[in-house]
């Protein structure tokens, strides 16, 4: 057996703790697989005294209070960054790369903002910067895109990329849980980000989507170019109407090459019931990738949580132990292309609209007139209940419409005195086969 591979683990929370447990359980198996013992040389976290329930797994392991000092520790061969965010995590990753040490990270926020510079630093140092855990948790989707799909031009990829928001939407639909209580459960299970608004506002999914799109299209996709909308405005009423109309509400990340550029968007969507993604529930993520030769492939698995995320982190460590080293975005930074982004205004697709209107003759006629003026064609209209003079919900499903026209119509409908709240619009995504 050759020299051990000595890890420095920065962060001992959900993922770091999971990794320690995984190595404790599978150290022998991993040594057989890689021909090297994978050992923890040093760790770093905020609170040295905290009981993390890790038994004796960290006995004799050196402790650092500072993640950069951990990265620089001469006994550390690989930095495993599991702190998160763009502060000390970034400093530690940069410190490791500058010393020619490979890095494994689960930090999508860091890579979505600084991935290009860090990819350059890793290439300069001639080491790997692996991030399988950063996207779709335990699903090996980075590996799939970087290796398995290498022979394809990718036409589109889309899916459910955030476990916490999927958990919330699923709980609201299945048990009638409130948004707040479902979020609290997801937090208690270790699924949520340190700032859970990243989960519920679509930011985390957008971080992940920008990474997947960069890999898929071999061009850096700036996170700020991603259109982002979260799930806060989704109500139990929308969920129930969705079911009635044959849909499930999911928050999707979509990256698709179109004639007017690359669409990269994250938003709640009505997903047809007969598709695989409609049944990806709870903390599970689902990713669909369309390659020109391989056609469509669907991946499903746990997108968050200690075990699945640690599994992805360990897969990256094993690659390093085996000497596998691939560029962050699949191709070296100086061979990456440029790609024009399509504005969300150019999206063409059907929409679900829900309006809270005064139950009074003529209201629907006013709404229909606006839709006619903006050339929005109605597929169906549903009014539930009867409450003369009071508020009632009206649901409209449109035919395909350009986003810009839909928005103009929404603004005009929202301005009607008889429309009592800003209208809700949820895009209907016609997903072929998957
Ligand atoms: N929890 C999950 O299911 C998943 C998390 N991730 C990513 O993994 C990373 C870690 O996430 P979690 O384990 O959930 O977070 P966590 O909050 O459970 O753990 C963070 C750890 O970092 C330590 N830490 C925080 N600030 C520090 C500092 N300034 N110096 C040293 N240590 C510090 C904390 O003490 C804690 O041990 C994040 O980048 C997150 O986005 C990725 C996939 C799934
Ligand atoms: N907070 C994230 C964790 C994994 O990336 C999620 O809920 O998906
Ligand atoms: Na993954």
In a domain, 318, yes or no: no
Percent of the chain, pLDDT > 70? 99
Taking residues 388-392, report their average pLDDT.
89
Q: Quick one: 115 and 13 in the same domain?
A: yes
**Of all protein residues, whose CA lies closest to atom 21 belonging to ligand 1?**
11
Range(s) of the domain holding residue 255 = 141-302+337-344
Distance 389 CA to ligand 2 centre (A): 44
Nearest-atom index, ligand 2, CA of 167: 7
Q: Quick one: 16 and 102 in the same domain?
A: yes
Interface ipTM > 0.95: yes
Q: Quick one: 64 and 191 in the same domain?
A: no
Distance 224 CA to ligand 1 centre (A): 23
Q: Which of 92, 114, 134 is the last residue of a domain?
A: 134
Q: Quick one: 148 and 129 in the same domain?
A: no
Whichever domain contains 58, its CATH number is: 3.40.50.720
What is the pLDDT at residue 408? 98
Q: Quick one: 168 and 259 in the same domain?
A: yes
Q: Quick one: 157 and 297 in the same domain?
A: yes
Name the residue of 159, 182, 193 to mutate for ligand 2: max ligand atoms within 8 A of Cβ: 193
Taking residues 385-396, report their average pLDDT.
89
The annotation status of 17 as a binding-site residue, yes or no, is yes
Q: Quick one: 60 and 99 in the same domain?
A: yes
Both tokens of residue 378? 């109605």
In a domain, 251, yes or no: yes
Q: Which of 134, 153, 176 is the last residue of a domain?
A: 134
Question: Of the residues 90, 208, 250, 432, which is catalytic?
Answer: 208
Q: Quick one: 270 and 359 in the same domain?
A: no
pLDDT band at 197 (very low <50, low <70, confident <90, very high): very high
**pTM beyond cutoff 0.90:** yes
Q: Which of 79, 102, 134 is the last residue of a domain?
A: 134
In a domain, 229, yes or no: yes
Cα separation, 225 vs 213, whole angstroms: 11
Q: Tell me which DSSP letter residue 393 carries.
A: E
164 lines ligand 2 (CB under 6 A): yes
Whichever domain contains 362, its CATH number is: 3.30.70.260
Q: Quick one: 213 and 78 in the same domain?
A: no
The per-residue pLDDT of the chain, averaged, comes to: 96
Overall domain count for the chain? 3
Taking residues 170-190, report their average pLDDT.
97
Name residue, tokens 């079911």. 243
User: How many residues does this entry show for the chain?
Assistant: 434
Both tokens of residue 189? 């299970």
In a domain, 400, yes or no: yes
Cα separation, 215 vs 339, whole angstroms: 12
Name the residue of 84, 141, 198 to mutate for ligand 1: max ligand atoms within 8 A of Cβ: 84
Q: Does residue 385 register a pLDDT over 80?
A: no
> 221-268, pLDDT tens digit by residue?
989 999 999 999 999 999 999 999 999 999 999 999 999 999 999 999
In a domain, 289, yes or no: yes
Measured CA to CA in angstroms, residue 346 lies from 203, 226, 376 at distances of 22, 14, 15
The annotation status of 235 as a binding-site residue, yes or no, is no
221 lines ligand 1 (CB under 6 A): no
In a domain, 155, yes or no: yes
Q: Does residue 391 register a pLDDT over 60?
A: yes
In a domain, 315, yes or no: no
Q: Quick one: 127 and 151 in the same domain?
A: no
Name the residue of 18, 45, 205 to mutate for ligand 1: max ligand atoms within 8 A of Cβ: 45
Taking residues 386-395, report their average pLDDT.
90
300 lines ligand 2 (CB under 6 A): no
What is the pLDDT at residue 431? 79
The annotation status of 13 as a binding-site residue, yes or no, is yes
Nearest to 214 by CA among 134, 112, 288, 65: 112
Residue 143 appears among annotated catalytic residues: no
In a domain, 311, yes or no: no
């Amino acid at each position: 057996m050759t020299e051990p591979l000595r890890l420095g683990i920065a962060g001992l929370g959900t993922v770091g703790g999971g990794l320690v447990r995984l190595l404790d359980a599978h150290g022998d198996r991993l040594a057989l697989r890689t021909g090297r013992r994978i050992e923890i040389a040093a760790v770093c976290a905020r609170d040295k005294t905290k009981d993390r329930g890790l038994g004796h797994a960290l006995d004799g392991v050196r402790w650092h209070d500072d993640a950069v000092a951990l990265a620089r520790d001469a006994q550390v061969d690989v930095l495993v960054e599991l702190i998160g965010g763009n502060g000390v995590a970034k400093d530690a990753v940069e410190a490791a790369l500058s010393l020619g040490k490979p890095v494994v990270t689960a930090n999508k926020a860091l890579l979505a903002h600084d991935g290009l510079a860090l990819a350059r630093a890793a290439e300069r140092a001639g080491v790997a910067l692996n991030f399988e855990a950063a996207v779709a948790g335990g699903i090996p989707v980075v590996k799939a895109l970087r290796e398995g799909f290498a022979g394809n031009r990718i036409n589109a990829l889309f899916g459910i990329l955030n476990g916490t928001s999927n958990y919330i939407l699923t709980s609201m639909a299945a048990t009638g849980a409130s948004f707040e209580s479902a979020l609290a459960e997801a937090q208690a299970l270790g699924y949520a980000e340190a700032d859970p608004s990243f989960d519920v506002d679509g930011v985390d999914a957008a971080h992940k989507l920008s990474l997947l799109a960069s890999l898929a299209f071999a061009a850096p996709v700036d996170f700020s170019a991603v259109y982002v909308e979260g799930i806060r405005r989704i109500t139990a009423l929308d969920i129930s109407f969705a079911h009635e109309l044959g849909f499930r509400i999911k928050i999707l990340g979509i990256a698709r090459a179109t004639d007017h550029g690359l669409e990269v968007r994250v938003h709640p969507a009505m997903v047809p019931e007969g598709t695989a993604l409609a049944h990806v529930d709870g903390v599970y993520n689902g990713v669909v990738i369309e390659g020109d030769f391989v056609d469509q492939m669907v991946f499903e698995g746990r997108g968050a949580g200690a075990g699945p995320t640690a599994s992805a982190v360990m897969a990256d460590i094993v690659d390093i132990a085996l000497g596998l080293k691939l560029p962050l975005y699949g191709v070296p930074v100086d061979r990456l292309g440029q790609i024009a982004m399509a504005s969300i205004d150019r999206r063409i697709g059907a929409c679900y609209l829900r309006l809270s209107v005064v139950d009074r003759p003529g209201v629907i006629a006013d709404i229909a007139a606006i839709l006619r003026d903006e050339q929005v064609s109605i597929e169906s209209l549903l009014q539930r209940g009867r409450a003369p003079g009071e508020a009632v919900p009206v649901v409209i499903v449109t035919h395909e419409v350009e986003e810009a026209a839909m928005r103009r119509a929404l603004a005009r409908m929202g301005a009607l005195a008889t429309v009592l709240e800003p209208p809700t619009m949820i895009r209907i995504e016609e997903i072929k086969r998957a």
